[in-house]
Amino acid sequence: MTAISYAVRAEHIHKSFGSNEVLRGISFTAEQGKVLSIIGASGSGKSTLLRCVNHLVVPDEGLVHIGAETLRSHKQRDGKAVSSDTRQLERVRARLGMVFQNFNLWSHRNVLQNLLEGPLHVQHRPKAEATEHALSLLAKVGLSDKKDAYPSELSGGQQQRVAIARALAMNPDVLLFDEPTSALDPEMVGEVLRVIRQLAEEGRSMILVTHEMRFAQDVSDHTLFMHNGQIEEEGPPDQLFKQPKSQRLRQFLQPTY
Ligand code: ADP
Ligand code: MG
């Protein structure tokens, strides 16, 4: 068996919502232990592409390889795209941790309960082990003292750090971030980016959709620039941000370029 060097590989992904073709044949590779960042204007298809990785949005066409598994989809008679193997999807999803723009914590559960939900009820891990792991993750994101707090009692930055710890509690192989700081007040962006940077330095495989250009340039190994549902340009971040080739990327970077 040949060793697999990628964490995620997407091939020729297409997705339309009605007559709106949002993804027009996208292929990319996210290497193991590396950070792939995705940038682009609002509406360019970044969130849709990230959601296609775990079939939260089911592609109309194309394949998603996660390690040795390949997620496939097909169209039903009514034209709706569905995942071809739902048991495989369940298995694969457990290996992908996702962090959303709006935290998506369970509001009626406290912080520790938010972290234990998946490990106990999805992974059926022993409570003592899961609790110890959860507490160590809260320490890692600097929130040990908030384990009994409810989400509404936390700032946005704290909620997002809980959401990251919750994703980590499942021991995922890959972390998917969709603009994790865009719903935060400016003074809270730094505390969340610090946690993400630490995860990158630990060598976690990540796909990061972000509008934090400086951070993307700093933390990623490879960057995709999306425009109108296609990859307009990609490469090492230093090249993309400092010597953009396409006119559209130059325009997009204008304010900081
Ligand atoms: P980005 O994350 O880059 O801002 P999105 O992937 O959210 O872009 O959206 C790309 C396009 O797809 C937009 O035109 C958006 O309105 C459309 N879109 C996204 N999700 C849906 C959906 N569930 N139903 C219909 N249209 C959608
Ligand atoms: Mg988006």
Q: Residue 176: name the closest of 150, 147, 153, 199 by CA.
A: 199
pLDDT tier, 3 (very low <50, low <70, confident <90, very high otherwise): confident
Q: Relative to the alpha carbon of 19, which ligand is closest? A: 1
For the CA of 40, the nearest atom of ligand 1: 3
The verdict on the CB of residue 46 being under 6 Å from ligand 1 is yes
- Mean pLDDT over residues 111-135, rounded? 97
The verdict on the CB of residue 40 being under 6 Å from ligand 1 is yes
pTM of the predicted structure, to 2 decimals: 0.95
Q: What percent of the chain stands above pLDDT 90?
A: 96
Phi, psi of 180 (to 5 degrees): -65, -15
Q: Per residue in 185-216, pLDDT tens?
A: 999 999 999 999 999 999 999 999 999 999 99
- What is the reported pLDDT for 48? 98
- Mean pLDDT over residues 132-149, rounded? 98
Q: Per residue in 20-60, pLDDT tens?
A: 999 999 999 999 999 999 999 999 999 999 999 999 999 99
Q: Contact at 8 Å (CB) between 206 and 199?
A: yes
The CA 43 to ligand 1 mean position distance, Å, reads 6
Residue 256 reports pLDDT greater than 60: no
The verdict on the CB of residue 47 being under 6 Å from ligand 1 is yes
- What is the reported pLDDT for 2? 65
Residue 233 reports pLDDT greater than 90: yes
Write 44-47 long-range contacts (CB < 8 A, 24+).
44/226, 44/227, 44/228, 44/229, 45/15, 45/226, 45/228, 45/229, 46/178, 46/179, 46/209, 46/226, 47/178, 47/179, 47/209
The CA 21 to ligand 1 mean position distance, Å, reads 10
- Count Cα atoms within 13 angstroms, Cβ side, for 12: 5
Distance CA 135, CA 152 (A): 20
The CA 133 to ligand 1 mean position distance, Å, reads 36
Instruction: Indicate the burial class of 254 (C-beta count within 10 angstroms; 0-12, 13-18, 19 or more).
Output: exposed
Return the HEC string of 201-254. Answer: HCCCEEEEECCCHHHHHHHCCEEEEEECCEEEEEECHHHHHHCCCCHHHHHHHC
- What is the reported pLDDT for 254? 86
User: Which amino acid makes up residue 9?
Assistant: R
- What is the reported pLDDT for 257? 43
The verdict on the CB of residue 48 being under 6 Å from ligand 1 is yes
pLDDT tier, 155 (very low <50, low <70, confident <90, very high otherwise): very high
Q: Contact at 8 Å (CB) between 69 and 91?
A: yes
* Mean pLDDT for the chain overall: 96
